[in-house]
Structure 1
Amino acid sequence: MMTIMRKSPINVRAAAKEASHERIVQAAARAIRRSGYDGTGVADIMKDAGLTHGAFYAHFESREAMLAEAVDRAGAESNGFGARVIAAVPAEQAFQALIQAYLSKEHLAGIETGCPVAALGSEMPRQAPEVRRAATRRIKEMIDLVARQSPDWGQPGVHERALVTVATMVGTLMLARAVDDAALSDSLCSAALKRLAPSDA
């Protein structure tokens, strides 16, 4: 006799809640990069996720808890993009490819889906500890990703050079997005790329 297993109502509800939670975090991860932390309201996020405002507290204890998950997700997406860039090229080209992708015109224009550090860095000191903690963890992951692609990986000083590289990458992207002069924006990215990963390296 064959037994047919049916999903219990509890499992169906749990799966639906998980899918809704995922939509909220995805919407919030895009919104914080587009509008900043202060410009990201719960009502707008819930609307973008296709849910009612009242459903928010079924998923999060507070707005700060949502923001912490959102910045964690944004950081994971950004670092995941970097990892995919690295995986697509030979090992000896990984460092340069990573920096080229980060300082590309596509990344410059992709604020909503790009690096959350460049989009939100100046706002971080004013955020709740849980938001800063989530962002810090992803920044450390980014530094480690850069360090491991360095031509001198394993040598003394590589971590310090990775710190400088990441700081330069993020600072360059912030400035290139801030100015209203396209030529200056291009020059900032080109100069940083030339210094960080010269093509004849």
Structure 2
Amino acid sequence: MRYPKDHGQQTRRRIVENASYGLRQTGADGLSVVDLMELADLTHGSFYSYFKSRDALVVEALALAMDQTIAHWLDLTQGLSAEKGFDAVVESYLSPRHRNNPARGCALPALAADIGRSGPEARRTFAGRLEKMIDIIARLIPKRSSSDAREAAAIAIATMVGSIVLARAAGDKRLSDALLEAGRQALRTQAASGGAERPQCTEPGFERRKS
């Protein structure tokens, strides 16, 4: 049987895409090479034809998942004012739909804890994409210095991620919904106050890194 010229690339992309969904659903530590290949309807014997290690696939799947969130945020806020764009991201992120569909959702609540225990390449990939996510939210917080906007953006992302983690963990739907609303309300309050009451960060790190 003859395959198209780019069959290998298509298969590799399929493995990465399905691994990305599986890892967000189960966690980075929850799937073996056999499991990851089964997600793409392939046998594990061909795995090393495409990836040098399981960790290499995890890094690519993580990058894809975070890139999808970045693209979603950019699409969601295109053409909106900063205020409306910020609200759109918050409402989309802290929604029952996002809570109920971790496999297609943001990688931060699904994988952050696992990546913290992973190797340096996975952590670098995670940090690089997180910087981009902070940049997007910071642009939705105008009339502040760059460092102040990035600090506020980091606080907003941390609030959203923590709210989703707790909402997914809660066994009671009413409690879960209340946690989502608490997160939304906290971010509305932050936006309305213009950050005047936000805690001051005494450690460096929110300034944009220089390449």
Report the TM-score when normalising by structure 1: 0.87
Are 1:73 and 2:64 an aligned pair? yes
2:90 pairs, out of 89, 95, 99, with 99
Where do 5+ consecutive residues of structure 2 fail to align? 193-211
Are the counterparts in 2 of residues 117 and 170 from structure 1 also a CA contact under 8 Å? Answer: yes
Query: Which range is displaced more, 151-160 or 66-75?
Result: 151-160
Q: Hey, what's the Cα distance between the residues in 2 that align with 1:180 and 1:153? A: 40
Which of structures 1 and 2 has the bigger CA Rg? 1
Identity of aligned residues (%): 36
1:38 pairs, out of 11, 14, 29, with 29
1:83 pairs, out of 74, 80, 83, with 74
Structure 2 letter corresponding to 1:130 = E
Q: Hey, what's the Cα distance between the residues in 1 that align with 2:67 and 2:146? A: 27
The residue number in structure 2 matching 1:174 is 165
The residue number in structure 1 matching 2:106 is 115
Are the counterparts in 2 of residues 89 and 97 from structure 1 also a CA contact under 8 Å? Answer: no
Structure 1 letter corresponding to 2:54 = R
Q: Hey, what's the Cα distance between the residues in 2 that align with 1:155 and 1:80? A: 22
Q: Hey, what's the Cα distance between the residues in 2 that align with 1:75 and 1:45? A: 18
Structure 1 letter corresponding to 2:140 = Q
The residue number in structure 2 matching 1:125 is 116
The residue number in structure 2 matching 1:48 is 39
Which structure 1 residue ranges, 4+ long, deviate > 2 Å from structure 2? 88-92, 151-156
Deviation at 1:156, TM superposition (A): 5.6
1:128-139 matches, cutoff 5 A: 128-139=119-130
Structure 2 letter corresponding to 1:137 = G
Q: Hey, what's the Cα distance between the residues in 1 that align with 2:100 and 2:47? A: 31
Are the counterparts in 1 of residues 141 and 149 from structure 2 also a CA contact under 8 Å? Answer: yes
Instruction: Note closer, same or farther for the CA distance 1:88–1:177 as it changes in structure 2 (3 Å cut).
Output: farther
Query: Which range is displaced more, 189-198 or 112-121?
Result: 189-198
Instruction: Note closer, same or farther for the CA distance 1:115–1:95 as it changes in structure 2 (3 Å cut).
Output: same
Matched length? 191
- Report the RMSD for the aligned CA atoms in angstroms: 2.1
Report the TM-score when normalising by structure 2: 0.83
